[in-house]
Structures are given as C-alpha cells and as structure tokens.
Amino acid sequence: MDGLTPVEQRAPGRWQIGTVTQVRRETPRAKSFRIELPMWMPHLPGQHYDVRLTAPDGYRAQRSYSVASSPLDQGEIELTIDRLADGEVSPYFHDVVVEGDRVEVRGPFASYFVWRGEAPALLVGGGSGVVPLMAMLRHRRRTMPELRMRLVYSVRTAADVIYADELADDALVTYTREPPEGWAGHTGRIDAAILSEAGRDAAIAFVCGSNGFVEAAATFLLATGFGAGRIRTERFGPTG
C-alpha cells in the first residue's frame, strides 16, 4: 500500500456545505436552486439529495429533493423545490434562501429510479413529479440526442409548468384544469391513448408524481401492454 494517497471518504455519505449560486422562480409554487458543492460527484439522472436545516437551538429538519440538472454540470447540482404551505423545509427555501446562502446537503442517493442511458424511455410526470424526469431529459439531450425519449407532463394550468422554456418536441404537455388560450394540444388527465402514443418504442417508463397520479399512469401503462417490470415509479406523499 506504500505510495498510495490515502483516500478520505467523500460524497455521497457525508454532509457538506454547499453555496447557492442561483435562484430561479419556475412557477408561483416552484423555485430552482443551483448549489455549488465542495465534494461534488456526478449523479445518475433521477437520484436525490438530502437537505438538512439546523436552527440556532439545534433543532433540525431533513427532507429529500430530486436533482433536476444533468451530471454534466460539474461541481454543482440544481434542486427544484415545490413550496408546501404546511411544510418546514420547502417554505424555508422559498422564503429565506437567496444567492450566496450556504445550505447543508448530502448525496446523491438511491439507484433504482435512475436512467443510465441504456434504453429509450418514456417519462411521465405529474406536477413537480417532473423534476427527476427533467434530469433525465436534460442529460439525454446533451449526451445522446438521437435516442428516443418522450416526456408526458400533466399540469393544471399554464402557470404551473416548470421548465416551460425548455420543453420542446420531446415533451407532450396536457392541461387538466385550464389550457392556455388558443391551445390545440392535449387537455384533461393522462390516458392510455397519450401514453401508448408517447411510449411507442420505449423500453422503460419512469413515472413520478402524487400517489394518485402514479397509480393512474401505471394502470394505463399496464393496460397498454407495458410489463410491470419495465415501469419504475416514484411517489411523493405529504412531505415538505
């Protein structure tokens, strides 16, 4: 072993203090935070970080947030956080955190709801469930733009669309409450027709959203012939 440099344990297990370099408002409820990390390591699209807040009296709160950025963004991650009114971590990020603030995080974690670039994929997101899917879409655009990947994105109104200026031909938006004026595309909840059209040629499906949304989407996918083993889901319940 002589001559080898001793290796200190790095990410993902250790807490580290990152610096917020950019705050971007996406929608009235969602903001994206770019965080520069001293112990950055590349994540797999779909992975999450844990965030820990500490009050002066030692009280702590932890939550998990999906990474929205591509791992090609070296040295930093982007977390998009939905503001939950009765939460305690998401309101802090929305109401307190500004550029230059330091935040404590560790990650990246979990390796099942991840796209490794291995196959054409169908992405199905409801509301802020689009966040981990955006990491996959962004990464695919930068690494293998010829590979088929479609995002089906269900939102209530035009004001609720996260990453609105980045959605291109590879994204299919459906408005469940109120479409924008003159909208000629899909409206209403996702259904088997939308999913089988968008999921043509897909070898794997990633579905993320509320439990009700995920349950509905998974049931439609099973009905269109997608095998259960090819459907990966991530559900968020009440958290914040």
Alpha carbons 41 and 190: distance in angstroms, whole number: 36
The one among 38, 72, 75, 111 contacting another protein by CB under 8 A: 111
Alpha carbons 218 and 239: distance in angstroms, whole number: 22
* Residue recorded with tokens 């001793």: 6
Of 73-81, 108-116, 158-166, 185-193, which part binds another protein (CB under 8 A)?
108-116
Of 24-32, 53-61, 146-154, 157-165, which part binds another protein (CB under 8 A)?
53-61
Per-residue buried b or exposed e for 199-215, using 16+ beta carbons within 10 Å of the residue's own CB: beebebbbbbbbeebbe
State yes or no: residue 195 binds another protein (CB under 8 A).
no
The one among 104, 170, 178, 191 contacting another protein by CB under 8 A: 104
State yes or no: residue 61 binds another protein (CB under 8 A).
yes
Residue number with CB closer to another protein (102 or 177): 102
Residue number with CB closer to another protein (148 or 232): 232
| Shortest Å distance, C-beta 194 to another protein | 18
State yes or no: residue 178 binds another protein (CB under 8 A).
no
Residues at the site binding another protein, with contacts judged by CB under 8 A? 9, 12-15, 17, 50, 52-56, 59-64, 86-88, 91-92, 96, 101-104, 109-113, 211, 215, 218-219, 221-222, 228-229, 231-239
